[in-house]
C-alpha cells in the first residue's frame, strides 16, 4: 500500500500531438508523459472519429468476450511515444473522413482504417470516465467485458471489502453482485471455452488470497464455485490477478509462493501439473530494459495469446521508480509459446506521469477496439475509464 503525501484533484488527459508509430526497440523515452490540469477527467470525447467499433462496448458490433481481444497479428504493439511533452487540450488530431467498419478504427489524423486486431500500433484517444459505474463513495477497478454486448464485470470497494459486480448496461445503471455479500473478491475474468467454469477471480479468505472459478449466467449468482487447481494455487501463498489465453492454454497470475510477489506463467493447460515459471518480463525505460516489479501486475492477455497488458511502477532509465511508485500501463508482444517477444513499452497516451497518478487493470474489449482501465488521479480513489483506439 502506498501512502500519499497529498490529494490533488482529478486531471484531464492531455495527449501529446503528433505521436508517431514507434518500433519496440526504437523507443527512447521513459514510461508515461507529463500533463497539466485542464478541466474534469473524461469530459472530452474521442477524436478518432468514425471508429464505430471502438465505443467501449456501446456499439452493437462489439464482440464483448472478456479476457480476449480478437486474435491479433503477430506484430508487436507500439506503446506510443513515452515521455512526450503534452499540449494542453490536445486529444489527437481530428480524423479526416474515415468510414471504418466493425473491428476497425480510424488512425489519428488520417483517413486510414486500421484493424483493431493488429497490435503493431497501440494508440488511444482521450479516456472517458464510466461515470455511472464510478461511484463517489467507493473505488472501482477491473472493468472487464462480459459474455455479450456492452456488459461489464468490475470490482467495487476497498481491497479489504471489494465485491465483483456485473453491469448488463453500464451506461444506465450500476452492477449487481455476482457472489454472496459475505466474501471479499477481486479481478473477475470471463473466459468461455477454457474449462467447465467460465468466471475466474481471486478471493480473500483466512488471511490469504486464492484463485477461484465458477459457472456464471446473467440470471443467477455464481455456481460451481471452486478453487483453481494446483499448481496455479499453492499452499501457504497468495495467488491472485489471473489472465488466460484460452486459444493457447497459457495462464498468467501473481503469486507469493517464492516469498515475494511474482508474475508467474503456466505454459500448458490448467489441468497439467507442470511447475509454473516466473515470466521473464522486461520493461523499456528510455534506453534501459528493466525487470518487472511491484506487488500486482494486474495482467491481461488476449484470446490469441499475442499481447500482454499489465501495470508496473513508472521507471526512469536507472530502473528506479518515478512518481513515488505510481504505476503506468504497459504492453508486451508474446511469442507463440507465451513468453515475451520483446521488452514491454508504455501505453503513453493513457499514462499520467506526475501527481502520483496510478493507472492500473488494463483490458481490451472483445473486438480489441477499446481499452478499459482504472486510475486514481493521485487521490487513492479509483474510477473506471475507457478509451478508443486512435
The pLDDT value recorded for residue 268 is 65
pTM for this structure? 0.78
The pLDDT value recorded for residue 42 is 37
Distances (CA, A) of 91 to 109, 121, 127, 301: 11, 17, 9, 27
The pLDDT value recorded for residue 269 is 60
Under 8 Å between Cβ of 117 and 111: no
Report residue 77's pLDDT band, with 50, 70 and 90 as the boundaries: low
Report residue 97's pLDDT band, with 50, 70 and 90 as the boundaries: low
Instruction: Using a pLDDT cut of 70, give the percent of the chain over it.
Output: 74
**185-199, 263-277, 299-313 — which is least confidently predicted?**
263-277
The pLDDT value recorded for residue 74 is 42
Report residue 45's pLDDT band, with 50, 70 and 90 as the boundaries: very low
Q: What is the mean pLDDT of residues 95-113?
A: 87
Q: What is the mean pLDDT of residues 112-137?
A: 93
The pLDDT value recorded for residue 370 is 96
Higher pLDDT, 216 or 91: 216
Per-residue pLDDT tens over the stretch 121-130 = 999 999 999 9
Does residue 10 have a pLDDT over 70? no
Distance of alpha carbon 15 from alpha carbon 30, whole angstroms: 16
Classify the C-alpha dihedral 313-311-384-97 as positive or negative: positive
Distance of alpha carbon 259 from alpha carbon 247, whole angstroms: 31
* The three grid cell numbers given for residue 127, joined into one nine-digit string: 479516456
Distance of alpha carbon 109 from alpha carbon 127, whole angstroms: 17
The pLDDT value recorded for residue 31 is 44
Per-residue pLDDT tens over the stretch 227-252 = 999 999 999 999 999 999 989 989 99
Mean pLDDT of the chain: 79
Q: What is the mean pLDDT of residues 175-187?
A: 92
Does residue 66 have a pLDDT over 70? no
Amino acid at each position: 500500500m502506498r501512502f500519499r503525501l497529498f490529494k490533488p484533484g482529478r486531471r484531464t488527459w492531455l495527449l501529446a500531438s503528433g505521436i508517431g508509430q514507434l518500433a519496440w526497440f526504437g523507443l527512447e523515452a521513459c514510461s508515461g508523459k507529463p500533463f497539466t490540469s485542464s478541466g474534469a477527467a473524461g469530459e472530452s470525447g474521442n477524436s478518432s472519429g468514425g471508429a464505430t467499433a471502438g465505443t467501449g462496448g456501446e456499439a452493437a458490433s462489439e464482440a464483448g468476450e472478456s479476457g480476449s481481444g480478437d486474435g491479433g497479428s503477430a506484430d508487436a504493439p507500439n506503446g506510443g511515444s513515452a515521455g512526450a511533452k503534452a499540449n494542453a487540450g490536445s486529444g489527437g488530431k481530428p480524423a479526416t473522413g474515415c468510414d471504418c467498419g466493425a473491428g476497425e478504427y480510424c488512425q489519428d489524423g488520417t483517413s486510414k482504417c486500421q484493424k483493431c486486431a493488429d497490435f503493431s500500433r497501440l494508440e488511444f484517444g482521450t479516456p472517458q470516465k464510466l461515470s455511472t459505474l464510478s461511484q463517489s463513495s467507493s473505488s472501482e477497478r477491473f472493468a472487464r467485458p462480459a459474455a455479450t454486448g456492452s456488459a461489464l464485470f468490475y470490482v467495487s470497494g476497498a481491497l479489504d471489502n471489494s465485491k465483483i459486480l456485473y453491469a448488463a448496461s453500464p451506461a444506465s445503471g450500476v452492477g449487481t453482485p455476482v457472489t454472496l455479500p459475505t466474501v471479499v473478491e477481486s479481478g473477475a475474468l470471463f473466459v468461455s471455452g477454457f474449462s467447465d467454469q467460465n468466471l475466474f477471480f481471486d478471493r480473500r479468505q483466512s488471511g490469504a488470497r486464492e484463485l477461484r472459478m465458477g459457472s456464471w449466467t446473467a440470471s443467477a449468482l455464481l455456481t460451481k464455485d471452486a478453487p483453481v487447481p494446483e499448481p496455479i494455487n499453492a499452499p501457504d501463498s497468495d495467488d491472485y490477478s489471473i489472465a488466460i489465453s484460452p486459444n493457447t492454454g497459457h495462464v498468467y497470475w501473481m503469486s507469493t509462493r517464492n516469498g515475494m510477489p511474482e508474475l508467474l506463467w503456466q505454459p500448458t493447460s490448467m489441468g497439467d501439473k507442470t511447475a509454473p515459471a516466473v515470466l521473464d518480463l522486461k520493461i523499456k525505460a528510455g534506453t534501459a530494459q528493466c525487470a518487472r516489479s511491484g506487488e500486482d501486475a494486474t495482467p491481461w492477455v488476449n484470446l490469441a495469446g499475442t499481447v500482454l497488458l499489465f501495470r508496473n511502477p513508472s521507471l526512469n532509465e536507472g530502473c528506479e521508480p518515478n512518481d513515488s511508485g505510481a504505476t503506468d500501463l504497459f504492453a508486451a508482444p508474446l511469442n507463440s509459446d507465451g513468453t515475451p517477444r520483446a521488452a514491454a513499452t508504455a501505453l503513453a497516451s493513457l499514462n499520467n506521469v506526475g501527481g502520483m497518478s496510478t493507472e492500473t487493470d488494463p483490458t481490451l474489449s472483445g473486438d480489441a477496439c477499446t481499452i478499459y482501465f482504472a486510475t486514481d488521479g493521485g487521490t487513492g480513489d479509483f474510477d473506471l475509464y475507457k478509451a478508443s483506439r486512435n
